[in-house]
Amino acid sequence: DEPYEPRGPWAGFERVRPQEHPDTGAPLDLLSQVAEGLGTTPPGFEVHPKLRTLLEKRRKSISDNQPLDWAMGELLAYGTLVLEGTPVRLSGQDSSRGTFSHRHAVVVDQNTDEEYVALAHLADYQARFEVFDSHLSEAAVLGFEYGYSLADPYSLVLWEAQFGDFVNGAQVIIDQFISSAHVKWQRMSGLVMLLPHGYEGQGPEHSSARIERFLQICAEDCMQVANCTTPAQYFHLLRRQMKRSYRAPLVVFTPKSLLRAPQATSPVEAFAHGSFQPLIGDAMAARNAGEVERLMFCSGKVYYDLIAERERRLGENAHRVAVCRVEELYPWPAARVAEMLRTFPNAERVLWAQEEPRNMGPWTFVRPRLREACAGGTLSYAGRPEAASPATGSMRIHKQEQ
């Protein structure tokens, strides 16, 4: 019955979640140093010709003020953290290259097969960066990384599923340890789980990381559940994980098709300043807030589908429908949702839109929370009907559903 006091490496960490979102921007010179290192290889190192252009683009991305994609946002987060003294450890079934050939944290000499990890050679004074391609045994690998996060709260420890669906194989680790250890044994963990998620017609085993399962077990600030839509948001989210004085597991539903989508990029200044935003409003609609007739909430990739369809259908009247992104599903951003409802007081309908079937995805979690915020107003669902499988196996049917 004695109050728990963190000891050893955990001394100084808080058990109560602070409400503030700290500034997690990085100075431009630090971002430039990381970008320069990402595009540099040792003398005589023969990179695959297809990668030379990518590495050169990364090297010049900050100095040329280029829009930055998802992979660059992630690598900048890791690079700035190790330069600031925070070790980073990433494992997963295809983590060094990235399942979708986007990360390329490790490059290989085409003549000698020698490997080079740029993030491990940014400066002499930097902290350790490690990336491992682990085998297809999710329970074993996730369990090991969870233990690592307990032993070293000062390292950013991440595990990435090859597809988010594969987290099924580690369900016992999530249920027995990650979601409940802070209640059962008062053990905190800062483990990050990266789960590729999104409906692109790839079938039932390559679409859904089962958002609903994580949200179902969310209570008492046991974890953080996020579905970012921009590289800058992802950058700030990863840095926030280490800048706060407490630790809680973080589940990130990462994109697939958005990895190279031109509309899903962020300007350099978004990385130099600011913090993670749990909810992003609709700036275009807000300029004529009184004319908004419909307010839609969503999370993740479907946001880009919605705004494209809004433009196609409504044209110059697109501002009459506001689309707001819930970037952090748990802890639920109740105050910011209420602020959005006040911003558009004339909206006749409030909707939740999602890609997942009605009995999956965030809907069952957000429904009571949005209804409470609407104070008795109309709340509608827009998405696929209930289904037994998380996705169809037919591309033709997928397109019809979408």
Question: pLDDT tens for residues 227-265?
Answer: 999 999 999 999 999 999 889 999 999 999 999 999 999
| pLDDT value of residue 11 | 82
- The string of pLDDT tens digits covering residues 262-292 is 999 999 999 999 999 999 999 999 999 999 9
Give me the mean pLDDT over the 322-342 stretch.
Answer: 96
The DSSP secondary structure of 317-377, one letter per residue, reads GGGGEEEEEESEEES--HHHHHHHHHHSTT-SEEEEEEEEETTSTTHHHHHHHHHHHHTT-
Q: Is 103 exposed, middle or buried (0-12, 13-18, 19+ CB in 10 A)?
A: buried
Contact (Cβ atoms closer than 8 angstroms) between residue 21 and residue 240: yes
- Look-up: residue for tokens 């004319």? 291
Banded model confidence at residue 179, pLDDT cuts 50, 70, 90 = very high
294: number of Cβ within 10 Å: 17
Banded model confidence at residue 5, pLDDT cuts 50, 70, 90 = low
Give me the mean pLDDT over the 308-317 stretch.
Answer: 94
**Over the chain, what is the mean pLDDT?**
94
Report the interhelical angle of 70-83 vs 231-243 (nearest 10°): 30
Give me the mean pLDDT over the 300-315 stretch.
Answer: 95
Question: Does 218 score more than 70 pLDDT?
Answer: yes
Contact (Cβ atoms closer than 8 angstroms) between residue 231 and residue 16: no
Output the CA–CA distances (angstroms, integers) from residue 146 to 133, 173, 187, in the order listed. Answer: 17, 9, 11
- State how far the Cα of 399 lies from the Cα of 199, in Å rounded to an integer: 10
Residues 6+ apart with CB under 8 A from 23: 273, 274, 275
What pTM was computed for the model?
0.96
- The string of pLDDT tens digits covering residues 95-131 is 999 999 999 999 999 999 999 999 999 999 999 999 9
Category of 18 on φ-ψ map: left (φ > 0), alpha (ψ -120 to 50) or beta: beta
> Count of alpha carbons within 13 Å of 138, Cβ hemisphere only?
18
Q: How many helices (H) and strands (E) does the chain have?
A: 14, 14
Least confident of 15-29, 85-99, 330-344: 15-29
- State how far the Cα of 209 lies from the Cα of 193, in Å rounded to an integer: 11
